[in-house]
Amino acid sequence: MSLASDHLLDKIHSKRACVGVVGLGYVGLPLAVELARAGFDTTGIDVDPRKTDAVNKGTSYIPDVKSADVAQLVSAGRLRATTDFRAVASLDTVNICVPTPLRKTKDPDMSFVAAAVEGIAGYLHTGMLVVLESTTYPGTTEEFVKPMLEAKGLRAGVDFFLAFSPERVDPGNPTFNTHNVPKVVGGIDPESTALAGALYGSAIERIVPVSSPQVAEMVKLLENTFRAVNIGLANEIAMMCDRMGVDVWEVVEAAATKPFGFMPFYPGPGLGGHCIPIDPFYLSWKAKQSGFEPRFIELAGQINGAMPHFVVDKIADALNLQQKSVNGSTVLVLGVAYKRDINDLRESPSLDVMTLLMQKGAHVHYADPYVPVLTSADWHGGPDLAEPMKSEALTAATIAKADCVVILTDHRIVDYAMVQHAARAIVDTRNAIAGHHANVLRLGAPSGTALRMPVRVDESREAKVVA
């Protein structure tokens, strides 16, 4: 190893290295907290002053990170945040954890990564380690990031070190977190890999070194494309079962008893989150640049993308059984976060379903205990809301007012027995309500022949079934 790498490695092992994290979202803040907890002097950098102010006040805005932990680390002087990239000048390492969305054309939008790298490049110095964590296409680290960092004369692998390590965050997972999920690391050379591995190894239980950044970049895309393709299969089986009168949920649960050769995936209203709906398109885009047509991946994307339309068709069926049309009906959406028990709205299929319903003339309301307010800024590609939508109180009276209730996110806090009892009609896309009920249409399951009688609300605002 070179003198520069030996010096940095010694600083990492002795916890004398000053480390930084650019992007303090669902990936960056947990990483910054783990690095600070491991004993490093840690600086978070974000262009949003609301985030940096919150961190400096000892407050967390990420459900998986406790405010008490942030407050303790800030008080101990091991964690701070700033919007000023000049802080990079005093850092020994910096991790880039910024968003990598898709453009409307399904091409990679590298603007956030470009802005972060440009901010770092202005203060890049000899002996520094830069690690990209943002999910992206194979080749990004060496073809996109490396030239930007080298533009002012410093050479990667000689004057500074560069690696890629894909984030593996699963918001709301009570078992796996930043600390105990194995970390894949691929540097542009052995020294970069070793330094990045040492940095992560100080705070994370297991490090998995690979031979190059391209391998590490492909690992992340394989992981999420694997999930997207198998969810696409589950969704297609659900639509098939719906047509054939077979309960897909019973089928999957029975198949899952096989102790080998099968892994259960479940259908739903569509893909959500920052990774699974997006990563396959990064891989598909890069494959096409190489002259390869990823037909299997794109077919899964088409199936998953069609699920919100299929759900709206189910809602129309539920309303038809009441001799009502979608146009003019009141539809209550239960859950707008992309997965249960979190407040993350990124790529949520609930928003797609709500948009389609509004386009068809439905009066759409929502109830989500984790998302009290929904604004146009949260709703990319959706309607231009004149004023923010507010979450409805989840009571029997509220449910009884709706012509149809659609369960799109199955938060555990919801009393689904109460929902089933009070609602006129329910479309359940998550199998949240077990068993067969006359007023429940489940995704991919046989439908009842009739819905229960309408529910009225008396003066005490309690729901009662009219016999």
> Where in the sequence numbering do the catalytic residues fall?
275
Express each pLDDT in 275-317 by its tens digit. Answer: 777 778 888 888 888 899 889 989 999 999 999 999 999 999 9
pLDDT at 449 over 50: no
Stronger pLDDT, 385 or 200, i.e. the higher one = 200
In which band, very low, low, confident or very high, does the pLDDT at 381 lie, cut at 50, 70 and 90?
A: low
Look at strands 363-367 and 330-334 and give their pairing.
parallel
Q: Identify whether the C-beta of residue 307 lies closer than 8 Å to the C-beta of residue 240.
A: no
Domains of the chain: 3-211 (3.40.50.720), 221-298 (1.10.1040.10), 307-465 (3.40.50.720)
Phi, psi of 343 (to 5 degrees): -110, 15
Coil, helix or strand for 9? Answer: helix
pLDDT band at 2 (very low <50, low <70, confident <90, very high): confident
Closest CA to 442 of 402, 403, 410, 466: 410
Q: How confident is the model at residue 448 (pLDDT cuts 50, 70, 90)?
A: low
Q: At what angle do helices 190-201 and 3-13 cross, to 10 degrees?
A: 10
3-state secondary structure of 46: coil
* pLDDT value of residue 273: 79
The distance of Cα 216 from the centroid of its chain, to the nearest Å, equals 20
CA distance to 8, 13, 89, per residue, from 193 (Å): 13, 15, 22
**Would you place residue 376 in the very low, low, confident or very high pLDDT band (cuts 50, 70, 90)?**
confident
Strands (E), 202-361: 207-209, 330-334
End-to-end CA distance of the chain: 82
pLDDT band of 106, cuts 50, 70, 90: confident
Q: pLDDT > 90: what percent of the chain?
A: 79
Q: How far is it, in rounded angstroms, from Cα 148 to Cα 52?
A: 26
CA distance 332 to 387: 18
Q: What is the pLDDT of residue 56?
A: 98
Query: How confident is residue 129, by pLDDT bands cut at 50, 70 and 90?
Result: very high
Instruction: Report the SS3 class of residue 185.
Output: strand
pLDDT, the chain, mean:
91
Distance separating alpha carbons of residues 21 and 65, to the nearest angstrom: 16
**Between these two residues, 41 and 386, which has the higher pLDDT value?**
41
Separation of alpha carbons 297 and 283, rounded Å:
9
Whole-number Cα distances in Å, 423 to 25, 317, 391: 37, 15, 17
Counting every residue, how long is the chain? 467
What tokens were used for 161? 């070190």
Question: CA-based diameter of the chain, in Å?
Answer: 84
**CB-based contact 407:429 (threshold 8 Å):** yes
Q: CA 131, CA 186: separation in Å to the nearest integer?
A: 9
Question: Rounded to whole angstroms, how far apart are CA atoms 459 and 457?
Answer: 7
pLDDT digits (tens, 9 = 90+) for 204-226: 999 999 999 999 999 999 999 99
Q: Is 79 helix (H, G, I), strand (E, B) or coil?
A: strand
Q: How confident is the model at residue 453 (pLDDT cuts 50, 70, 90)?
A: very low
Least confident of 67-71, 153-157, 443-447: 443-447
Are the C-beta atoms of residues 406 and 414 closer than 8 Å to each other? no
